[in-house]
Structure formats: structure tokens, C-alpha cells
């Protein structure tokens, strides 16, 4: 044993009661990933969205955030796990969820009050506060593989005003509960608490088809940009991954044609 190793062992032994393995580097475990159900995105993310972390997807309207989240939830519920959808604007379409092949019985849908004129009449707090409280409860209770906090319709100035302590709290709770918390926002707000930050944006416009005699909206093409991935530096990611992916979504009636 070399002298340095002996000294290190001596120091570690002396500090063992207060700081176990003080001078030994902690081995970082490879994150468990949930497939998103979209091959192009899984390739960019190295397998999917990380479990036990916050994944934030920011982007304007009609950039595919909801389709992406529904596809991810569909893949997770099909694997047998339970998920929750915290719907700040009460905007989830059950028909779209069914078309995405979500196992409905495994999805808990929490709808915030849509009565915009009097949100505090009989409910404590605004819809956003309700959503944050409900998300906190879900994370503390545990047992959900993924929770989607859908703030897509929340104005950016309101979303960025959410105290950072909420996101710290959610990050810790998600880690303990081994839950993937997916945020859908117009602008990034979780900052460094998000292990994976994605930006969605429209790709090349896919025109309405005029295949038949009438025009038909058959789908969209979206682009997803990986802005930050805390697990990117993991030794497990041997090859350099691309930072952006383009993917298609189709309307249910386009499958019939």
C-alpha cells in the first residue's frame, strides 16, 4: 500500500463515525429511464426521461408538449405503473389520451378549478397554487411512476414567479419517491432543479393534406431540443448524443386514411 493510500485510509477511519467514506468518490448510479414512446426522442435522450428527477419541457402553444407528455405517460401506464396528470388549466382531452393509448385506469387526473372568474370562491387558493399543492401531495404519497404538471397555459410571468423552494422540494420528493416529474411550461421555470431541460419548437410546417377532395389536418412535425441533461456526463453515455430531434405526430383520423 502506498503512503498516500495509507494516509487516506487513516483519515477515513478517523472520520468514519462522522462522515462515512469521506475521501472516496461516490459512484453515480446510472439513472433509470422511462421510454417516451417516440423513437427519435429516446435516441436523443439516451433512452427516455429520467426517473426520480424533474424533466422540464418548455415551448409555445402547438409545439407538441402535450403530445410528447401523453406519449410518455402511455408508455409508462402500459408498463403497468400508475401515473398522475395535474391539469392546471383543465385542458386535457380524454379523447386524445385514449388515442395516445394511455391505460386510463392507471391515470389519475386532477383538474383544477376552471372557473376563472372566481377561483377563490370556494376553493383555497388559485389554480396554480392548487396544482402545486396537489403535486406536492402526490410526490409525498409516492407510488406514482410519473407525474405531469401541465402548466402549458400558465402565463410565463406567473410561472417564473413560482418560488424556487417549490422546485427544490419537488426535486427531493421526486428523488425519494422515484417519480419522474414532467413539467410542461411556456418558459423554463424550474432552473437547476430540472435534471433534464427540453425546449419544444415547431419544425417545418406540414401542410394540411389535400389528398382527397377536401383538405385534412393529418398531423404536425415538431422539434425537441435538449438544453440541459445532468446525466449527460455519465460515463455510461459513451457516444455523443445529438441535441435535437424532429418527430411527427398524427391525428387519429389520419390513421384511418
Partner 1 sequence: MELWNTVVEGTVMYAVLHPPNFAAQVAAQQRPELRKRAFALVDGEPPTEVVVAANKAARSGGIEAGMSRLQAETVPGVIILRRVQKDELTAEAILHTIACMFSPRVECVESDAGTYALDIRGMNGLFGDETQLANKLRRRIMTAGFLANVAVAENFDAAVCLARGRTGVSVIPSGQEANALRDLPLHVLNLSEDHAETFKAWGIRTCGQFAALAEIDVISRLGPGGRQLHALARGEWPHLMFPMEPSFEDTLVERTELDFPVEALESLLFLLRCMTDVLLERVKTKARAIASLRIVLKLDGGKRHERVVRPALPLQDTPTLLKLLQLDLETHRPGGATVGLELYAQSATPYRAQHGLFLPQAPEPGRLEVLLARLRKLLGDERVGSVELKDDHRPNAFRIVPFAPAPPKKTDQPSFSVATSLRVCRPPQAVSVILVANTPARVFWDNQRYAVREIAGPWRVSGQWWSEANWCREEWDVRLETQDTERVCRIAYDPRSRCWYLQGTYD
Task: Compare residues 21 and 61 and give the one whose CB is closer to partner 1.
Answer: 61
49 or 103: CB nearest partner 1:
103
Is 135 among the residues that bind partner 1 (CB under 8 A)?
no
Q: What are phi and psi of 49, to 5 degrees?
A: -90, 145
Q: Work out which of 89, 126, 187, 234 binds partner 1, going by CB under 8 A.
A: 89
Distance CA 88, CA 123 (A): 14
Q: Which of 49, 58, 110, 181 binds partner 1 (CB under 8 A)?
A: 110
Half-sphere CA count of 103, side-chain side, radius 13 A = 11
Residues 60-79 that bind partner 1 (CB under 8 A): 60-68, 70-71, 75, 78-79
* Contact pick of 145, 149, 159, 174 for partner 1 (by CB under 8 A): 145
| 176 makes contact with partner 1 (CB under 8 A) | no
| Residues whose CB is less than 8 angstroms from the CB of residue 249 and which lie 6 or more positions away in sequence, other chains included | 64, 67, 219, 220, 221, 222
90 binds partner 1 (CB under 8 A): yes
d(CA 35, CA 108): 20
Binding segment for partner 1 among 167-175, 187-195, 212-220, 235-243 (CB under 8 A)? Answer: 212-220
Say which residue the cell 426535486 belongs to.
Answer: 171
- Please identify which residue in the block is written with the cell numbers 396544482: 131
Shorter beta-carbon distance to partner 1: residue 79 or 191: 79
Verify binding: residue 33, partner 1, rule CB under 8 A: no
Q: For residue 243, give the nearest of 13, 35, 41 by alpha carbon.
A: 41
Q: Give the span between the Cα atoms of 15 and 3, in whole angstroms.
A: 18
* Residue whose CB is less far from partner 1, 97 or 128: 97
219 binds partner 1 (CB under 8 A): yes
The reply on whether position 43 binds partner 1 by CB under 8 A is no
Least gap, CB of 105 to partner 1 (angstroms): 5
- Residue 140 or 191: the one with the smaller Cβ distance to partner 1 is 140
CA distance 182 to 69: 8
Asked if 133 is part of the footprint of partner 1 (rule: CB under 8 A), the reply reads yes
Question: Which part of the chain contacts partner 1 (CB under 8 A), choosing from 3-11, 23-31, 202-210, 232-240?
Answer: 202-210
Instruction: Indicate whether 217 belongs to the interface with partner 1 (CB under 8 A).
Output: yes
Distance of alpha carbon 70 from alpha carbon 37, whole angstroms: 9
The burial of 237, by beta-carbon neighbours within 10 Å (0-12 exposed, 13-18 middle, 19 or more buried), is given as middle
Amino acid at each position: 500500500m502506498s503512503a498516500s493510500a495509507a494516509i487516506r485510509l487513516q483519515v477515513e477511519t478517523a472520520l468514519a463515525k462522522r462522515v462515512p467514506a469521506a475521501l472516496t468518490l461516490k459512484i453515480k448510479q446510472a439513472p433509470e429511464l422511462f421510454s417516451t414512446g417516440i423513437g427519435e426522442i429516446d435516441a436523443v435522450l439516451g433512452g427516455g426521461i429520467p426517473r426520480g428527477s424533474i424533466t422540464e419541457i418548455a415551448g409555445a402553444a402547438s409545439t407538441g408538449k402535450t403530445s410528447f407528455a401523453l406519449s410518455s405517460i402511455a408508455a409508462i401506464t402500459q408498463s403497468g405503473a400508475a401515473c398522475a396528470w395535474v391539469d392546471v388549466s383543465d385542458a386535457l382531452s380524454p379523447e386524445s389520451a385514449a388515442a395516445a393509448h394511455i391505460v386510463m385506469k392507471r391515470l389519475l387526473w386532477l383538474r383544477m378549478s376552471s372557473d376563472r372568474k372566481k377561483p377563490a370562491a370556494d376553493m383555497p387558493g388559485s389554480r396554480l397554487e392548487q396544482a402545486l399543492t396537489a403535486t406536492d401531495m402526490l410526490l409525498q404519497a409516492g407510488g406514482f411512476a410519473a407525474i405531469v404538471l401541465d402548466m402549458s397555459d400558465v402565463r410565463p410571468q406567473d410561472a417564473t414567479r413560482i418560488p424556487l423552494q417549490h422546485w427544490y422540494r419537488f426535486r427531493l420528493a421526486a428523488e425519494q419517491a422515484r417519480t419522474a416529474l414532467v413539467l410542461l411550461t411556456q418558459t423554463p421555470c424550474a432552473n437547476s432543479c430540472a435534471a433534464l431541460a427540453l425546449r419544444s419548437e415547431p419544425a417545418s410546417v406540414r401542410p394540411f393534406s389535400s389528398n382527397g377532395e377536401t383538405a385534412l389536418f393529418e398531423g404536425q412535425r415538431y422539434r425537441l431540443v435538449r438544453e440541459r441533461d445532468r446525466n449527460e456526463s455519465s460515463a455510461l453515455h459513451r457516444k455523443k448524443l445529438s441535441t435535437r430531434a424532429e418527430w411527427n405526430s398524427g391525428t387519429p383520423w389520419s390513421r384511418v386514411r
